[in-house]
Amino acid sequence: MRSLSLTFAILITLSCAGGGSSSDVVADTDAADVAADTPPIDEGLPPIDIPPPTKEPQWTLDNTVPSVVAGKTMRYFSGYESFGQRRLYFCGDGGVFRVAVDGQWLDQDISSSATIQACHAVGDDLMVAVGDDGKFWSWMGSDNWLSDDIIDTSPGLRGVWITTATSVTVVGVAGSIYRYDGADWENQTIPDTSGTLSAVWGTSANNLYAVGDKLLLHYNGTEWLSETMPEDPPGTPEANMGISARAVAGSDADHVWAVGDQGKVAFRDAAGVWAYQDAQWYATPFQGVWAGQANFALAVSAKGNVRQFDGTTWQIVDVATPKKTLTGEKWPPEQVVPKGPTLDYVGAYAVDETHIWLFDKTGKLLQYNMNY
């Protein structure tokens, strides 16, 4: 107790000596000076801007497709890069061929009487198309389409692929294959082939793939070779074995996909072996495939079915417009995506996983991006 009392007495003595009151005066003076130097609050300052919610990509309907497609069947859709800009294009019945430049669809139509089965464009001055009766059209640096009947007895053509201006490959019914070298056409049809070849794709003039009715063909720069069909699960009916492919595409020579009837997706690896991949398919055939990377590919079909490959599995893509915008308003009716079962896709194109376009045979263009 003596220790605590002594301490208390010392504190009282210091206080009475004026140490505490001197400190208090200095503190009050500093506070007054600070208050005097502080500018008055300007109640007229604008409120702090709160950033809008982060936008996420959404599916919307693009109504820029020209009305010329009404009542006609569109057959093919894709895109290409030109001078750093993206170009979308499509073609179909009635000679319709349109290319989007700066948001406007330019009239590249061939002929009102032409039936275009497939087309391919790699640049503003390098576009081709094929159709029935062996018809071939090319736009190569000119201001109009040039027409060519490849061979008088040529059957209907169904697919075309440009490697360069001097290397164009077309395929069609009865296993027909023709190669253009910039001057002449060479008939490379495989003998005794009766099935229809529906599509062709390649990485170079010496590495091409043609697919069709139970046909998987590879061109190695010298000859076309028939490749082994993927192995079907045990118990598969004979009529359903193999793949009747309708489209083919790849990201490189080691990653190639063929899609077709019965919702089948076949993948060709670096060893040249074809094997099925589970695309969570239905009976509806896939009609188009696009591949940008080894871990990013798209497959589309009728009845609004869309699948996306992530490098490991194929996922179902829900193509639908949200009920409301970020501000709580209803989506404009003209931008609302139609119900899936009403859509019959013929192709897809993408820049990356957040910029995707789908096109259906009636001319409906769907886009997945943040431009809404």
Render pLDDT for 56-93 as a digit per residue (tens, 0 to 9): 899 999 999 999 999 999 999 999 998 888 999 999 99
Query: In the structure, what pLDDT confidence band is assigned to residue 23 with cuts at 50, 70 and 90?
Result: very low
Instruction: Provide the domain count of the chain.
Output: 1
Element (H, E) at 7: helix 2-16
Residue 162 β-bridge partners = 168
pLDDT for the residue 45: 58
pLDDT for the residue 81: 92
pLDDT of 135 strictly over 60: yes
Region class of 31: left (phi > 0), else alpha (psi between -120 and 50), else beta = alpha
pLDDT of 163 strictly over 70: yes
Q: Mean pLDDT across the stretch 131-145?
A: 89
pLDDT of 20 strictly over 90: no
User: Distance between CA 151 and CA 17 in Å, rounded?
Assistant: 119
Q: Mean pLDDT across the stretch 95-99?
A: 97
Span 278-325, pLDDT tens digits: 998 777 899 999 999 999 999 999 999 999 999 999 999 999 998 888
pLDDT for the residue 261: 94
Domain containing 306 equals 59-369
Classify burial at 12, counting beta carbons within 10 Å of its beta carbon; exposed 0-12, middle 13-18, buried 19 or more: exposed
Report yes or no on 190 lying in a domain. yes
Report yes or no on 32 lying in a domain. no
Percent of the chain with pLDDT over 70: 85
pLDDT for the residue 53: 62
Span 204-235, pLDDT tens digits: 999 999 999 999 999 999 999 999 999 998 98
pLDDT for the residue 218: 98
Per-residue H/E/C for 161-202: EEEECCEEEEEEHHHCEEEECCCCEEECCCCCCCCCEEEEEE
pTM > 0.95: yes or no: no
CB atoms within 10 A of CB 97: 25
Report yes or no on 288 lying in a domain. yes
Element (H, E) at 11: helix 2-16
Report yes or no on 211 lying in a domain. yes
pLDDT for the residue 272: 96
Q: Between 143 and 231, whose confidence is greater?
A: 231
Report yes or no on 40 lying in a domain. no
Q: Between 203 and 236, whose confidence is greater?
A: 203
Report yes or no on 51 lying in a domain. no
pLDDT of 102 strictly over 90: no
pLDDT for the residue 39: 53
Residue 239 belongs to a domain with what CATH number? 2.130.10.10
Report yes or no on 15 lying in a domain. no
pLDDT for the residue 283: 78
Report yes or no on 96 lying in a domain. yes
pLDDT for the residue 194: 85
DSSP state, residue 330: B
Q: Which two tokens stand for residue 318?
A: 């829900």
Q: Across the chain, what does the average pLDDT equal?
A: 87
User: Distance between CA 250 and CA 214 in Å, rounded?
Assistant: 19
pLDDT for the residue 52: 61
